[in-house]
Amino acid sequence: MAPLQVVGRPEPLLRARDVTLEYRSGSRSVRATQDVSFDVFDGDRFVLLGPSGCGKSSLLKAAGGFLAPASGTFELDGRVVTQPGPERMAVFQEFDQLPPWKTVLQNVMFPLLAARTLGRAEARERALHWIDRVGLARFAHAYPHTLSGGMKQRVAIARALAMQPRVLLMDEPFAALDALTRRTMQEELTKLWDETRFTLLFVTHSIEEALVVGNRILLLSPHPGRVRAELNSHQFDLASGGSAEFQAAAQRIHGLLFDEAAAVPTDERIAL
């Protein structure tokens, strides 16, 4: 009789270990985060949520290899992150992240060609596939100045996902959009995730957005950012917004973020 195999929890894909981030401001050092730790598993939609100045965008930059921690580490597949790489693609909130002299197709193809892993024909085919997936097939040969803000963000998402990254990093990508377009983009993002199950690390200061985008949420305290709690939020989606359960969860998160007495142990995951 074969021995029983004990299946444990999988190893995290991306891990933050006691990450402290600092910036130089003139002659002094400003601390952005203090000893932040969390694990992101394959297929997670992991959200960093907190008020302005809590260091959530800095954590995203450090995960991408753009910012070196003062102490602690980010690890991807058990290897310490020391520089940017194509396995971690980022989408930011600025609309000018697309070179204006390149068409939509050329923008999406550019990192594929720069990585030198695909020939031009293969890069074009993959780029067109992802442009179609974000609903912009008719605009493949358009230039960025002819696109709306939401369309530009779709191009940026297509460009990132075309690289087939291990982790997609998104820094408040919909914050500058109007409410209706923001809702549409949230729908598009969750639909893409349902279809392809990529791993997402998403930054927002919106409690409602965190609940509908994420399946796990890390709450960060005000400056410097420290972990207040980690929440499981997989039960919510875009259709949940008007429910009493959703509103109660949003109120609870607000309390956890801003009420010191409501804090829970940082190594405890709780369901809303």
What string of pLDDT tens digits covers the 272 residues of the chain? 444 544 566 889 999 999 999 987 777 888 899 999 999 999 999 999 998 889 999 999 999 999 999 999 999 999 999 999 999 999 887 767 889 999 999 999 999 999 888 899 999 999 999 999 888 999 999 999 999 988 998 999 999 999 999 999 999 988 888 888 889 889 989 988 998 899 999 999 999 999 999 999 999 998 788 999 999 988 888 888 788 998 998 899 988 887 754 555 554 555 55
Residue pair 180/226 in contact by the 8 Å Cβ criterion:
no
Task: Give the predicted TM-score (pTM) of the model.
Answer: 0.88
- Report pLDDT for 209: 93
Report domain extents, the chain.
99-165
Which H, E and C letters describe the chain, residue by residue?
Answer: CCCCCCCCCCCCCEEEEEEEEEEEECCEEEEEEEEEEEEECCCCEEEEECCCCCCHHHHHHHHCCCCCCCEEEEEECCEECCCCCCCEEEEECCHHHCCCCCCHHHHHHHHHHHHCCCCHHHHHHHHHHHHHHCCCHHHCCCCHHHCCHHHHHHHHHHHHHHCCCCEEEEECCCCCCCHHHHHHHHHHHHHHHHHHCCCEEEEECCHHHHHHHCCEEEEECCCCECEEEEEECCCCCHHHCCCHHHHHHHHHHHHHHHCHHHCCCCCCEEEC
Nearest-Å Rg of the Cα atoms of the chain is: 19
State CA 259 to chain mean position distance.
Answer: 26
Nearest CA to 207 out of 170, 248, 171 is that of: 248
Looking at residue 95, what is its pLDDT? 62
The Cα–Cα gap between 45 and 40 comes to: 8
pLDDT at site 8: 60
Q: What is the pLDDT of residue 14?
A: 97
